[in-house]
């Protein structure tokens, strides 16, 4: 999937910055590295894609975890085991 | 009322009622967090019955321990801590050979270079959050080595802070950040394989809209055996 233009790209800088990407998508990267990374991404399409898809990856896990529900039978057994089955309907 | 009570009450619970054994307030607590705790356990253990046992044990222990809960953390964090410890006990019991969770991060391999460079961010939300996509998200988490998986679940699924996660797992904040970074990069790689192929198929225009039939058809086309192995 590597683009033609990227084949000649020197990836030593990308490797160096790889460990900073997670902090970057959280907005927690220190200012100096942040500037360095953003400057790098201006000319490195691969790193920009990795950052965008990394951010989206984190977003998807956040989004799906918000809507997860407990299977009704497991919920019922839990309430019974805790002697609070009177509150099951609530 | 002290500051600690405020922390619990900010989450919508009365610590006083909980500690007095009020069943209404306890049911309120169970209702608020049973789903999150069940899914935390499922993701950690990948086993429904074990996860259900962890869920029940967590709330039983919470009920018994509420009187001594000091309120210095959020009550949700306290529950996640109990659940994580219960899940870790199951892991250690079932897999005594498992490498210690707190093994120094230095002994692990470093970041793997990204291989999948495809921009799938533009896929429509209904595609990214389809039932099939959710299964891929779960499967990708299961592929993570345990010490990365636990950190990822606490940080990115259960939304705990770096420090809370470090505290629960007995790690340093730096180790949590490093492991989270590695976990996310591996997950990105896995998801890029799947969504990259979905994007390619959609762009080819073979499937105009997702449906059960097209999903199944696609699955048989792109999810070849061996594609998932690393």
In angstroms, rounded to a whole number, what is the distance separating the alpha carbons of residues A70 and B129?
A: 18
Contacts of B158 (CB under 8 A, 6+ apart): A65, B36, B40, B80
Tell me the average pLDDT across A50-74.
94
Q: Determine the average pLDDT of the residues in B17-28.
A: 95
What pLDDT is attached to residue B225? 42
Q: Which domains does chain B have, with CATH numbers?
A: 3-94 (1.10.1740.10), 111-222 (1.10.10.10)
Query: What is the rounded CA–CA span in Å between residue B116 and residue B118?
Result: 6
Q: Do B111 and A90 touch (CB under 8 A)?
A: no
- pLDDT digit string (tens) for B107-128? 455 677 788 888 999 899 999 9
| Beta carbon pairs, A and B, within 8 Å | 123
Phi, psi (deg, nearest 5) at residue A73? -65, -35
**Which tokens in the block code for residue B181?**
């970074």
pLDDT of residue A4: 47
Helix intervals (H) in B46-172: 48-65, 75-94, 125-128, 131-143, 146-152, 162-169
pLDDT band at residue B227, thresholds of 50, 70 and 90? very low
Tell me which of B36, B108, B181 to substitute to probe the interface with A (most A C-beta atoms closer than 10 Å).
B181
ipTM for this prediction: 0.86
SS3 annotation, A41-88: HHHCHHHHHHHHHHHHHHHHHHHHHHCCCCCHHHHHHHHHHCCCHHHC
Q: What is the pLDDT of residue A5?
A: 47
| Chain segment B174-203, per-residue pLDDT in tens | 999 999 999 999 999 999 999 999 988 888
Q: Can you tell me the distance from the alpha carbon of B160 to that of A20, in angstroms, rounded to the nearest whole number?
A: 20
Nearest to B188 among A57, A69, A84 (CB): A57
CA-nearest of B54, B68, B81, B44 to B164 is B81
- Residue B101's closest CA among B144, B151, B142, B153? B151
Q: What is the percent of chain B where pLDDT is above 70?
A: 80
Each domain of chain A, given as residue ranges in start order, spans: 10-87
Contacts with A61 from chain B: Cβ below 8 Å: 137, 141, 156-157, 187
Sequence-separated (6 or more) residues with CB below 8 Å from residue B165: B151, B154, B155, B171, B176
């Amino acid at each position: 999937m590597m683009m033609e233009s990227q084949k000649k790209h020197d990836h030593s800088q990308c490797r160096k910055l790889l460990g900073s990407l997670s902090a970057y998508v959280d907005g927690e990267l220190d200012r100096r590295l942040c500037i360095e990374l953003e400057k790098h991404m201006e000319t490195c399409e691969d790193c920009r894609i990795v950052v965008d898809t990394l951010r989206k990856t984190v977003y998807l896990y956040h989004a799906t975890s918000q809507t997860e529900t407990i299977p009704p039978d497991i919920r019922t057994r839990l309430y019974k085991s805790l002697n609070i089955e009177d509150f099951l309907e609530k | 009322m002290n500051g600690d009570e405020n922390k619990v009450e900010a989450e919508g619970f009365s610590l006083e009622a909980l500690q007095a054994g009020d069943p209404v307030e306890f049911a309120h607590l169970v209702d608020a967090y049973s789903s999150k705790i069940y899914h935390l356990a499922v993701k950690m253990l990948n086993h429904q019955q074990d996860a259900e046992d962890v869920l029940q044990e967590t709330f039983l222990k919470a009920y018994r321990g509420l009187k001594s809960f000091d309120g210095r953390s959020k009550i949700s964090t306290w529950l996640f801590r109990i659940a994580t410890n219960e899940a870790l006990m199951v892991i250690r019991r079932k897999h005594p050979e498992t490498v210690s969770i707190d093994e120094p991060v230095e002994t692990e391999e470093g970041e793997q270079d990204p291989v999948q460079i495809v921009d799938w961010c533009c896929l429509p939300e209904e595609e990214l959050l389809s039932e099939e996509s959710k299964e891929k998200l779960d499967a990708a988490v299961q592929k993570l080595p345990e010490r990365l998986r636990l950190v990822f679940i606490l940080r990115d699924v259960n939304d705990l802070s770096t420090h809370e996660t470090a505290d629960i797992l007995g790690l340093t904040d730096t180790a949590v950040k490093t492991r989270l970074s590695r976990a996310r990069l591996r997950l990105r790689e896995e998801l890029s394989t799947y969504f990259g192929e979905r994007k390619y198929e959609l762009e080819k225009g073979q499937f105009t809209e997702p449906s059960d039939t097209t999903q199944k058809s696609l699955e048989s086309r792109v999810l070849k055996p061996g594609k998932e192995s690393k």
